[in-house]
Amino acid sequence: MTNYFSDLQNKTVIVTGGSKGIGKHIACSFAQLGAHVVIIGRSEEALERTLSELKVFQGHHKAIQMDVNDIATMRKKVDDIVDEYGLVDVLVNNAGVNIPRPALEITEEDWDKVLDTNLKSSFFLSQAVAKYMIKQKAGRIINIASQMAFVGYVKRAAYCSSKGGMVQLTKALAVEWAPYHINVNAVAPTFVETEMTAEMFKDEAFQKDVKSRILLGDLPKPKDISGAVLYLASNLSDFVTGETLKVDGGWTAI
């Protein structure tokens, strides 16, 4: 029987926002399959906790404390990673932020923070990594977008804009970098059950509204998102690029 995902063993994988929630599960899933995982995040404490979990699995794992909006530092860190690991096989742009606020109340600072974190940083990190992927004529870039790239929702004007931009960025980079055998794709989850969304789901009316829009009737778990990411990182998806895989339980099917 074919050992699916065995090709991910010994691959070097960078996961931004890799210390918590979906990013943490993605990082651990790669480590479990024998990849070398570099997680990037802002909280040193959370990074160290997650790194200790990664080290249960064989591989050369590393945590880097950094704000992805610091583009100059980010470029330097990518160079350092390549110096240490030799190459980067997979980049997962997972870092993101949302400031849920009515459109009339969104400030310029709110808008810039959401767009810079969710979209701008993903582009410039992809650019920094692609420089090396082009030389090695291989690579996978996976952007964590959102179903909100395809539908609107209240208090999410900036967030929807950032994720819609990420879907288009995915297509643009896929077109430009295809000649170098770099596959660029995205995963678009619905609301996911994590410790970070637990607070918002204490609002029973909000929880009821969200679940009423998901055809499968419940929230996905982080493993559901990790499965999509692993598929796009593996040789199972060799002929897939410029695509956004929705993991939304059918929300956008209606």
Q: Catalytic residue positions?
A: 159
Residues β-bridged to residue 106? none
Alpha helices, DSSP H, located in 33-120: 44-54, 71-85, 108-115
Cα atoms in the Cβ-side hemisphere of radius 13 Å centred on 124: 19
Closest residue by Cα to residue 214 from 143, 164, 153: 153
Say if residue 31 is exposed, middle or buried (CB neighbours under 10 Å; 0-12, 13-18, 19+). Answer: buried
Radius of gyration of the chain (CA): 17
Cα(209)–Cα(206) distance, rounded to whole angstroms? 5
> DSSP characters for 178-199?
GGGTEEEEEEEE-S--STTTTT
Beta partners for 245? 187
SS3 track for 107-140:
CHHHHHHHHHHHHHHHHHHHHHHHHHHHHHCCEE
